[in-house]
Structure 1
Amino acid sequence: MIVFAGPAVAGAIRNQFNQVTNAVDSGTDGGNFMSAEEKAYQEAMKTVANKDAKDWTLDEQKAAATDIAKNGTSSVVYAKAKAAMGAGTKFSTKLTNGQTLTYRIIGINHDDLADGSGKAGLTILTTSAGISSRMNATNANAGGWEQSELRQKMNSGEIWNLMPAELQFKVKAVKKLTNNVGGGNENKNAAVTATADKLFLLSYAEIVPTSYWASESHWTSSEGTQYEAFQGKVTDNFGGNSAIAIGVGWWERSVNPSSSSYFLHVCTYGEPVDSNDATSLYCVCPAWCF
């Protein structure tokens, strides 16, 4: 269970601001001030690097993501984050309704920040099945993910409000590419467009290595790229994959290329091309970035 007020990194990072204030108040010159700030940062990251990733608090997960975004493979925590991703290490937090949400790392420096300032250090995917919703109130996928009822719930509505304030504060909005026109043969050549999302669903292309429909609906290969956690583990673009099975069906943000009313979802045994109408009730596995 995550303890939000992790004393190690949270305290060290808070101390950076204290040092800034003290340096300014005492008239310390800029060189010494920057040196103190950098020293505090390095000490904080050393604490994170010395811990097992499975024991990282929420503050430490965020600190690790920030350092990885800044330093890439040279980050002092890169190897531990990568190992945790490969092992499927799970973290957890309490939702505002009292339920426990579990999640894992699925990407490192994978997603583009919505403000154009670079990459998000870590991409996270929910592994628990406690949240469920329909995609739309009507049985249609026109407007795709961008116009869906579920996207609104996840970015400013009831699902976003389930997230604890400590997590909301740390989430970075990222750019997600999706066919936001709709499915069906008439849209087989639809162009993907970008949305800025704090919480999002995975696309079909972010799960599988290649598209089953690549020759028919070209956009199905353009909604992002397969996350690193799935590489070599999710190899079947049509059949079951245990690496993404959670025992219930969970929504993807991709529309069904052959239907104007269905969205794709991962079925109970990990098939990524299952689908159903937009009014169906399925599990929601929010993804987000730090």
Structure 2
Amino acid sequence: MHAAAFSPRGGVVPETTCLRGQSIIEYVLIAAVIGLVVVFAGPQVSSAIRNQFNQITNTVDGGTDGDSFLSAEEKAYHEAMKTVVNKEAKDWTLDEQKAAATDIARNGTSSVVYAKAKAAMDAGTTWSVKLTNGKAMAYRIIGINHDDLADGSGKAGLTFKATNTALSTQRMNATQTNAGGWEKSELRGRLNSGDLWSLLPGELQSKVKSVKKITDNKGGGTAGTPSATTDKVFLLSMTEIYGGLDSDGTQYEYYKSKGVSMLEYSGASLSLDYWTRSVHPSSGAGFRYVYYGGRYSNGSATNNSYVFPAFCF
């Protein structure tokens, strides 16, 4: 609790930040302190203090409990959480998925929706969103508190991955090379700011969090030191799918729960060939992809394979 601060000139320094997130009990205590100060203060100070008291009264009377000081994103989160805890995860709207992710990022396994999100991930529950070209992109949870936010503020609560062919087949590069790896690839540029990014509707784009992705970005047929890129939309790496490697991140919870490994890979299958962001480690021409049965293979950067992008809330 913060009391009003007196300025050297006899006025009051407004402490507006103290109202953010304050409980009603704290407002009452603040009001009581203000009442005592008014008794002993001069007319000028008393008037200034009464003005601040009126601001507090308006906040409490309006039932906002400090919400008027929240950002638009915070207000949307609080509104969505009023209903998200009472709904089945399969029925969560896009706003409610975002609110659930925000709460999980803040509270971890103690989040009131953590169990629902994990159950939805384990069950392979899917949602869909309509792209700007009219196609519907299906997606599911593959990670919980897994990806590091690019701004260093913590983890993204939920990571999702597309599960259908809405983004069709695409090439990694226009020429048969993997030089620069994922970082320099044509496909990465298209997913993060180009034509493929533009296919995502604004209501999804506004919710996506930029995260750090670790990849061997050297290419050229020789192993390089893994480095980080900042991505809004990305492909999974070999390690994130199969585990057991140490260069391209860590295995996502979804694949780990399915027992996916280099030897047991059926849980990685989407019945179609799809790109990963990992380069062929001993060739300067290609990238790794997941074969239709779930095992991995290698393909030329100019080949067309399906794109199942991932993104975080």
TM-score exceeds 0.5: yes
Amino acid at match of 2:90: K
In structure 2, stretches of 5+ residues that fail to align are: 1-19, 21-51
Shift of 1:183: 4.6
1:47 to 83, 87, 91: 83
Task: Describe the SS at the equivalent of 2:239.
Answer: coil
Please state if 1:126 is matched with 2:162.
yes
Q: Is the 8 A contact 1:209 1:234 kept in 2?
A: no
Q: Which residue in 2 is equivalent to 1:223?
A: 248
Shift of 1:31: 8.2
Shift of 1:209: 2.4
1:174–1:30 Cα change, 3 Å: farther
Q: Which residue in 2 is equivalent to 1:35?
A: 65
Q: Is the 8 A contact 1:201 1:252 kept in 2?
A: yes
Please state if 1:161 is matched with 2:198.
yes
Q: Which residue in 1 is equivalent to 2:273?
A: 249
Amino acid at match of 2:290: V
Once the two structures are overlaid, the 10-residue window that deviates more, 43-52 or 74-83, is: 43-52
Provide, for residues 174-212 of structure 1, a one-character-per-residue CA deviation record: whole Å limited to 9, x for no partner.
00001111052xx23x1011000000000001011213x
Shift of 1:274: 0.7
Q: Is the 8 A contact 2:80 2:95 kept in 1?
A: no
1:61 to 67, 86, 97: 97
Shift of 1:242: 2.6
Shift of 1:244: 2.0
* Larger relative contact order, structure 1 or 2 (CA cutoff 8 Å, min sep 6): 1
Q: Which residue in 2 is equivalent to 1:180?
A: 217
Q: Is the 8 A contact 1:96 1:162 kept in 2?
A: yes
What is the alpha-carbon distance in structure 2 between the residues aligned to residue 175 and residue 245 of structure 1?
A: 25
What is the alpha-carbon distance in structure 1 between the residues aligned to residue 276 and residue 80 of structure 2?
A: 37
What is the alpha-carbon distance in structure 2 between the residues aligned to residue 120 and residue 150 of structure 1?
A: 23
Amino acid at match of 2:312: C
Shift of 1:74: 1.0
Q: Which residue in 1 is equivalent to 2:9?
A: none
Q: Which residue in 2 is equivalent to 1:90?
A: 126
Provide, for residues 91-150 of structure 1, a one-character-per-residue CA deviation record: whole Å limited to 9, x for no partner.
001111111100000000000000111100000000002322100000000000000000
Shift of 1:57: 0.3
Q: Which residue in 1 is equivalent to 2:173?
A: 136
Identical amino acids, percent of aligned pairs:
56
TM-score (norm 1): 0.82
What is the alpha-carbon distance in structure 1 between the residues aligned to residue 153 and residue 294 of structure 2?
A: 34
Task: Describe the SS at the equivalent of 1:246.
Answer: coil
2:233 to 199, 212, 223: 199
Shift of 1:275: 1.1
In structure 1, stretches of 5+ residues that fail to align are: 1-15, 17-23, 212-220
Aligned residues: 253
TM-score (norm 2): 0.76
Shift of 1:44: 4.0
Task: Describe the SS at the equivalent of 1:176.
Answer: strand
Task: Describe the SS at the equivalent of 2:65.
Answer: helix
Q: Is the 8 A contact 1:250 1:282 kept in 2?
A: yes
Q: Which residue in 2 is equivalent to 1:215?
A: none
Amino acid at match of 2:307: V
What is the alpha-carbon distance in structure 1 between the residues aligned to residue 101 and residue 118 of structure 2?
A: 11
Shift of 1:28: 2.4
Shift of 1:258: 1.6
Tell me the C-alpha RMSD between the 2 structures.
2.3
What is the alpha-carbon distance in structure 1 between the residues aligned to residue 148 and residue 225 of structure 2?
A: 19
What is the alpha-carbon distance in structure 2 between the residues aligned to residue 232 and residue 106 of structure 1?
A: 10
Computing the radius of gyration from Cα coordinates, the structure with the larger value is: 2
Amino acid at match of 1:130: A
Amino acid at match of 1:66: T
1:94–1:178 Cα change, 3 Å: same
Q: Which residue in 2 is equivalent to 1:279?
A: 302
